Amino acid sequence: MGSNNIIISFIGLVLLACCLSNVEAQLQVGFYQSTCFPAEFTIRNAVFNANRDITAGLVRLHFHDCFVRGCDGSVLIDSTPGNTAEKDSPANFPSLRGFEVVDTIKTALETVCPGVVSYADILAYAARDSLLRTGGIGYDVPAGRRDGTVSLASETIDLPRPTFNVTELTQNFANKGLTQEEMVTLSGTHTIGRSHCTSFRDRLYNFNATVNQDTSLDAAYAAQLKLSCPESNNDPTLVVPMNPGSPNVADVGYFIDVLTNRGLFTSDQTLLTNQATATQLAQNRNPFIWNDKLRAAMVKMGNIDVLTGNAGQIRLNCRVPN
């Protein structure tokens, strides 16, 4: 090998080592141990003291944050006269909830260690603690995210829609570096929380040109949904539990529901139409399997396009950049 090739190879190895080091250093478990030791306890305390039915909203806030511009807290920024922010897009308004809990957390943190903990990290911790509160599913959260300064409603096109089929869902999650199996695993968080009737009413009354009601939806469940979401009532605030059996418990009820044609969204029920995802649904009925997969998938999702180091900022007010 010539000397030039040796030099090029050496430079390549140095660059590779540098890149690997940067990736590993992006986020760290225990990130605030020296700069804000009470951070995780403060966040958990606020989540556990909030209304129990808001916990699903905090999980969803983290998810919707990460899928648009990465996990940077941009979902919390308010609209301005010249810009419609993420939170006010049709994908997020009026369904996103939990903003007041985030405010409570930030106020408490600013008292003990001002200007240290990012909103992006607050969302990641609050999602973990919500799952812990509702199902005992705990995991270590690597932290060190910094906050973004841009929030555009137009970019919420990156969010998966409740009408997506399995192919569209798989591609949507792949765009964020998540596998099909991780997509099925994360879909299981639909076991807690609620949905607005507007997200699925077409399955009940206006499915397609041939049939009014989606034939893949269990008939008894459809009748139950029609009582809560009558055709004559277009009130956009009407809601139903995602998993009627245990709406405030992070259990495997979601997977049992989908396997028995009781998935609420098209994007839920479609997972039964593909052999691979149907197999994963069946596997995830085992709570030990799903819990292990969910821990790993939540951590991986929380690493999507994060801002670290000198990028971004630690916003003092969730609604506006500093």
70 assigned to a ligand binding site: yes
Nearest in space to 295 (alpha carbons), one of 128, 64, 72: 128
Would you mind telling me the total number of residues written for the chain in this entry? 322
193 assigned to a ligand binding site: no
Asked if 32 and 39 count as a contact pair (C-beta separation under 8 A), the reply is yes
Exactly one of 44, 60, 64, 146 is catalytic; name it: 64
94 assigned to a ligand binding site: no
214 assigned to a ligand binding site: no
190 assigned to a ligand binding site: yes
Asked if 114 and 40 count as a contact pair (C-beta separation under 8 A), the reply is no
Nearest in space to 116 (alpha carbons), one of 180, 43, 36, 42: 36
138 assigned to a ligand binding site: no
118 assigned to a ligand binding site: no
Q: Which residues pair with 146 in a beta bridge?
A: 307
100 assigned to a ligand binding site: no
101 assigned to a ligand binding site: no
64 labelled catalytic: yes
CA dihedral for 44, 115, 309, 120, sign (positive or negative): positive
Q: Which residues pair with 83 in a beta bridge?
A: 80
218 assigned to a ligand binding site: no
Give me 286's structure tokens: 């085992």
- What residues are designated binding site for Ca(2+)? 65, 68, 70, 72, 74, 86, 191, 251
- What residues are designated binding site for substrate? 160
- What residues are designated binding site for heme b? 190
Residues noted as catalytic: 64
- What residues are designated binding site? 65, 68, 70, 72, 74, 86, 160, 190-191, 251
